[in-house]
Every structure is written in C-alpha cells, then in structure tokens.
Chains A and B, each alone.
Chain A
Amino acid sequence: MDLSDFAEEISDSGPVTIAGMSTRGGPVPEVRTVMAPSGVEWIKPEEMTVCCGAGTSMAELDAALDLVGQYVVIPPSGTVGGALALGHSGIRRLGNGPIRDALLQMRYVSATGDVVKIGGPTVKNVTGFDLCRLMVGSRGTLGFFGEVILRTQPRAPYEQWYCSTGDPWDLLRSLYRPVSVLWDGVRCYVLLEGETRDVQAEASAHGLGSCDPPDLTRLVHRWSVPPASIQTSLALIDAQPGCFLAELGVGIIHLDDVAPEQSVSMQVRDLHRRIKHNLDPDGRLNPGVSVIGTQSAMSEARPI
C-alpha cells in the first residue's frame, strides 16, 4: 500500500488530527483533519495474517476474513485504526486475548512526515523493540497509523452464549477456557466455543442454559481493575445488580456511570512525557489528546 499521499497530507509541520468513523470520540475539533487509507490489501489464511489500511472499517475486514473462516481480536465497530488507537479489547478477551496481541506490523506516519515501519510481517518476531505494543492505545499521539498487518485466528466450529445464576467464580474456576464470563450481580453470562459436542457437554456439566448475548448498549463506560478486586470495586461505587457487567478473570467492568480515575505513578507519567517529546516534540499530532487520565471520558459506541 502506497502511503506517500497520506504522508504528504500529514506533512511535517502544523497541528493535524486524524478521523476514522467517529465511533470512539472522533478527531480533535478545529484542527486540520486527515483520514487513513482504507481497503484490505491481502489475506493469507495459511499464515494467519491480514494486511489492510488503518482506515478500513471493521465491518469490511470482518466480512473479508469471514470468507476464509478467520477473525481478528478487534472489537467490531468503527475502523481498524480507531480500534487500535484506543486499544480497548472486546468482551472475548478472556479466551481470545487482548487487542494488543493482534498487531504484528504497522507503517505509520511520524510527526516529521516520514513513513515508519515497526514490527514484522510474521506471527513470531523479536527483531528490535516491540513498538507495535506502544502504538496500540496511543490515540494518535505518537504517529498516524497508515497500514497494518494483523494476526488472525480461525473461527471455532461452534459458539454459544449461556446463562447461569450459580456462583460465577465457581464457573470461572471450573470451565475449560471459556471465551467470556460476564456477571451482572445476579446472572452470569458465559460464552463457550469449540467442537459442538464439547461445548454442549461443558454446558450441561455446569448446568448452563443457552441464552442471548448480554446487552451492553447502555453500559458505555468501562473501569479496569485487578480481576481479584472486582467485588471490592463494585462495593466501593455501590453498583446495583443489573447496572453493570463485569468481565470475570479479566477485570473490565462495564458501567453506565463514568469510572473513577486510575492512579498513575510519577515515573510512568514522566516516561509518557519523554516518549511524546521524543516522537512528536512540537505536539502536532492530535494536539490536546492525552493518553493518561482520559480513560473515563472515552466511551465506546458498541462495546462488543
């Protein structure tokens, strides 16, 4: 994918912001706006990799991968680049892994207007520093994502949501590698995948009844806590049953209230300042956007 036009548009001076489909907050207002290239470049099912423009919609990518029976662990809304820039994982994280593990290689445009390649095209690679991990969740403050190579996974032959009113922590302990275990204070929603007979046997052994997926549309805010302190955290904010969904074993609590700020150490703040300064000394990329302390202000249109 040729990124020279994208790089030229971003250029090397003046404030600039990047827009996707505005499902995760949108571009910085009143700043010159660019958009990343879109389109699926290639899919290599036997490598379990896909290459696409960062501006590609998740709907388009999912549809293309569906044709070869594969998927990426990126929540299905907005653009690929937007999802990676925010860095929030979907509710399948417990079983399928976090979004940060999906990115293998990226070419982004730097504050100096250069196209920079990080990572590598193969599923295994330790060549140089792992800057892909740094870019996931960087909210367009370190570089504007142009083209990505992502790791794909094969779709399981069968998956099903189940419900239970049993002890959710018992389920978490005893189920073999569930994809998701969500708890709303009363009911537990479990997503299982695999061979049909295995999934059904697991469900019946644990007294699970099949059900529709839980509804997260109202719960637009998320709180990240150590999974061992989910209950303490819920008690702390006096969360009422039914007004939250907690990802057990992970530690994300979906709420309709703004989550409290997380504490960040002075050293970590310092590192953020120095990384931003070194990569974008004039602060021209997404000016005013901070990756610290904005967790609570961000929301997701569709968190699944």
Chain B
Amino acid sequence: MKMAKVEDAPDYRLRTVIAALREAIGSDAVLTDSAERALYRKDASNMEGRTSVVCLPDSTDQVAACVRIAAEHGVAFVARGSGTGLAGGAVPMDDAIVIAVTRMNAILSVDTDNRMAWVQPGLLNLDLSHQISHLGLHFAPDPSSQQICSIGGNVANNSGGPHCLAEGVTSSHILGLEVVLPDGSVTILGGEDPEPDGLDLRGVFVGSEGMLGITTAVCVRLTPNPPHIATLLMDFAEVDDGANLVSDIIAAGIVPAAVEMMDQLCLVAVEGYINAGLPVDSAAALLVEVVGLEHRVAAEVAQITELARRRRVRTIRTAADEAERALLWKGRKSAFGAIARIKPNYYLHDTVVPRSQLTRVLQQVYEIAARHELAVLNVFHAGDGNLHPLLLFDKREPGIMERVHAAGEEIVRASVDAGGVLSGEHGIGLEKRDLMGLMFSDVDLEAQSLVRGAFDPHSLANPHKVLPSPATCGDIHQIPEGAWI
C-alpha cells in the first residue's frame, strides 16, 4: 500500500484552510469547536449535514476572502442566513465551510422618492419593514417566518408569503445584487437602473439556493403602505365552497392583497392558542385582505361579499380596526406554533396547484393522510394555489417517519399531476431534489446544470442541492437522514 502524502490528508488540508480563514477574517469569526459547528449542521428542515468550519464575516470583503480560500483549496462552501429554510437548502454537504452572513444586517441606504433601499443580506425581513415604516413604506414579501428569516435567505429561496398574491414573490422586489461569485470575485448583478446591459443575471441568481454564489448586498424595491385596508374572515360549512370562492374572486377580475385558507383542524388549534373568536365549528375559513384607495377597497369588498354568499358563506367578520386586523393575522401566522397542542412534530409541505384544482387536490390530501393514518392540517396561500399541508405526528412512534415521508411524496405527486409544481416558496434544496424528474426531463435539467456550471464550474457553491445528478446515484449515503430518497 502506498503511503498518502501528508499534504493530501484531509486533516492537513482542513488545518490549512482554517489557518487561512483565521488570517483573513480574524479568529473570533471562525468557529471550529464541535459544539459550535453542530449548530450549523441543519436548518429548519429535519435534515442534517456536517460542516468542518463556520465563518462569520462582517463585510463583503470578508465574504470574498472566505470564498477565495474555499476556491483555492477546492473546498465546498454554503451561505447561510437565519437557517429558517424548510427544504435543507442550508444543510452543509461535503463538510462544506458554512459562511453565515448574520453579522451583516445593516440597512445601507434608503431612497424614499424612488422607493428602493440597499441592505445587507443578514438583515431580518420584518426588521427592514419596521425600520422604514415611518417613511410609509414596507418590503412586500412576507414569509410566515418574517420575524426571523433574513433578506439574503429570501433572495436565495425567492421566498413568498401571504401578500405575494398581489405583489409578486421576492424576485419582483429585488432590483440588484452585490454578489461574491464562486471564484471569490465580487460584482453587481442588475442594479438601480431598470435595464442594465446584458442578460438578467439578477433574475437567475434570485432563487438559486446559494448555488451560484453568495449575496453580500441587496437592492430591494419598497412598496408604499396602502391608505385603506379591509380584512375579512369568511367561514364555510364545506371546504369546497371556500376553495371554489378563490377562483370566483380571481375570475371576477379582483386580485386581493392576500387570500389565505385555514381548515377546521387549524382553526381549532389556533383558537385554543390565541382566543380570537375564530369559527371553530366551520370546515374552513378564508382570510381575505383588499387594499388600496377608498372606493376600490369598498367595491372589492362588496363584490367579494356577493361572491361569498353564492358559495354559502356562514359568517363574514370584518376587522373593525387595526387591532382586530392584527389579531386575525396573528391567527394565521401563529398556526405553526399552535400545532404543538395537537402533536409534538409536524412535516410542512409546499406545493402549488392551479386555483381551479384546489378543491380536488385538497380532497386528495385528506385521503392520502387518512390512508397513512396521519392527522393533516391545512393553512395556506389559497389565492395563488400554494398548498401547505402539515402532517402531524409524534416521532417517538415506531415506523412513523416512513408513513410521513410516503404520504408527503404522494401529496407532491398529486399536486404535479393536477398541473402544479414541486414548490411554491420553500425551494427544492435536498428535500425535493430527487423529485425534480416529476416536472423536468433530463434535457430540461441539463439546461439548468449548464447555467449553474457557467457560474460555478467546480460545483463548490452549496453542492448536491436542487439538481439531481445521475452521477451521484452511488453517493446516496450522502443524503442526510430525514431526506426523501
């Protein structure tokens, strides 16, 4: 047996990389202790990876230095914001260097006239809207995790949220990005000018799940706060009536700011949690919000009310003031916290179906869960057909994870069969990587891979995510526990 050279030994390479990182960004910003590293092994999904070293840069230059070191040594790296992703996008593979941008959380500049701002990627989504609220502006994408998720993470996932129905998802609110490319060079993609010369590289970078490089500054579009808001909670004896009303509203030419649906199990769980007087004896409720100038809001409320009556609405509760509006939204946004009252664990899914298929696919979701003897709760962005079934379980029950994963995959397949897509806002990450074939042919996937290769020829940026690779069949052991295979 030949002796391996010391220089080739993984330990030696790792020590060299760590020394270089310490030199570049300071020892206090480089975490190597196993307990500290353990915190960065996972995101909000139930998958785990492994990292060799964690970097906490505080500037673009420091991020670039970390990436250059990774590139020089051929080591993988993963960008990380708050780690709230649900698809394993920030789970480090190949012992990757984790580059967490949480220290870069400043608002760099705000242009109120032209309604844009430059911010750092670690800034929390809701912090941005809070800090500019006195200017009458906000950042429109509002994921349910907006209190803790970062703008950089929103960019990586092209995140959505309830108010993306009228305003569009994150990509529509990103004008420009300062990025560190996988070779460690820094450039701007897109920008403040509306039509920069060349391809829309900004557009392809948004939603690329950290596989094209790392965002170090973001130029966001800001949205004026609406002068009038009406928030309606409408409940139905049949889930179908509520689901059909969604299509009725859109077909009538109304695009509300948000249309959210909660089914009975969700209403009961949330009511027990916040006591908002929710209609717990109804099969489903819709939370509908319309915004804008006075007469438009009034006209749309009248039209929606009439359409709802035709769908046998039981009661319509209109938020009388900002406090009641906040309470109704709290009901919607605290659903995930309320679930702990039913079962200790849940698995949240994210698919999109055409609005006209909502009724049918919801029915299938209930059937699939029943067949696997699982409780299911639905709370979702009905307005854009974005389903979020939550499978509830107690992971101490033997064999339960197999049933949870089997049911989950059936739900995803049913959504795609109905003309839908794998993910509306959570991304593909590791979770749905091997289901990409449900939507895309090998030729389609090759095109995505070629674009990835143009940015990152050596596949160092967040490897093994999004794109299934025929060549990695033998690497199946690399998929962390909890992922679907």
Contact B448 A129 (CB under 8 A): yes
User: Shortest distance in angstroms between B286's beta carbon and chain A's nearest beta carbon?
Assistant: 16
Closest 10 CB pairs of A and B: A133-B203, A226-B192, A154-B253, A267-B187, A198-B293, A224-B195, A274-B454, A46-B251, A278-B450, A120-B421
A114 to B385, CA, bound (A): 31
B 243-259 binary contact with A (CB < 8 Å = 1; else 0): 00001101101110000
In the complex, which of the residues B114, B445, B467 contacts A227, with contact meaning CB atoms closer than 8 Å?
B114
A34 at the interface (CB under 8 A from B): no
B260 at the interface (CB under 8 A from A): no
Q: Which residues of A contact B (CB under 8 A)?
A: 44-48, 69-70, 87-89, 93, 97-98, 100-101, 110, 114-118, 120-134, 136-138, 153-155, 169, 172-173, 176-177, 194-198, 201-202, 222, 224-228, 247, 249-252, 261-262, 264-265, 267-268, 271-272, 274-275, 277-279, 291-293, 295
A275 to B199, CA, bound (A): 10
Contact B422 A127 (CB under 8 A): yes
Known: A122-B384, A176-B224, A291-B199. A271 touches B454 (CB 8 A): yes
Contact A195 B295 (CB under 8 A): yes
Known: A116-B444, A129-B448, A291-B199. A194 touches B293 (CB 8 A): yes
List chain B residues, Cβ under 8 A from A272. 198-199
Contact A100 B295 (CB under 8 A): no
Contact A198 B295 (CB under 8 A): yes
Contact B192 A194 (CB under 8 A): no
Chain B: number of interface residues, binned into ranges: 35 or more
Which of A93, A130, A261 counts the most chain B CB atoms within 10 A? A130
Tell me the residues in window 303-332 of chain B with beta carbons closer than 8 Å to chain A beta carbons.
Answer: none
A127 to B415, CA, bound (A): 13
Contact A122 B421 (CB under 8 A): yes
A228 to B194, CA, bound (A): 12
User: Which one, B24-32, B167-175, B268-276, is touching chain A?
Assistant: B167-175
Contact B192 A134 (CB under 8 A): no
Contact B198 A93 (CB under 8 A): no
A140 to B295, CA, bound (A): 45
Q: Which residue in chain B gives the minimum CB-CB distance to A108?
A: B447
B108 at the interface (CB under 8 A from A): no
Contact B447 A121 (CB under 8 A): no
A198 to B169, CA, bound (A): 27
User: Shortest distance in angstroms between B226's beta carbon and chain A's nearest beta carbon?
Assistant: 8
User: Shortest distance in angstroms between A69's beta carbon and chain B's nearest beta carbon?
Assistant: 5
User: Shortest distance in angstroms between A108's beta carbon and chain B's nearest beta carbon?
Assistant: 9
In the complex, which of the residues A97, A201, A292 contacts B198, with contact meaning CB atoms closer than 8 Å?
A292
In the complex, which of the residues A44, A123, A251 contacts B193, with contact meaning CB atoms closer than 8 Å?
A251
Contact A127 B439 (CB under 8 A): yes
User: Shortest distance in angstroms between A216's beta carbon and chain B's nearest beta carbon?
Assistant: 16
* 23 pairs from A and B in contact (CB 8 Å cutoff): A47-B354, A116-B444, A117-B440, A117-B444, A118-B448, A122-B352, A126-B426, A127-B440, A128-B428, A128-B436, A128-B466, A129-B466, A130-B203, A133-B203, A195-B296, A201-B293, A201-B294, A224-B197, A226-B191, A249-B113, A249-B114, A251-B193, A264-B196
A221 to B186, CA, bound (A): 31
A277 to B450, CA, bound (A): 9
User: Shortest distance in angstroms between A262's beta carbon and chain B's nearest beta carbon?
Assistant: 4
In the complex, which of the residues A122, A126, A227 contacts B157, with contact meaning CB atoms closer than 8 Å?
A126
B282 at the interface (CB under 8 A from A): no
List chain A residues, Cβ under 8 A from B193. 224-227, 251, 262
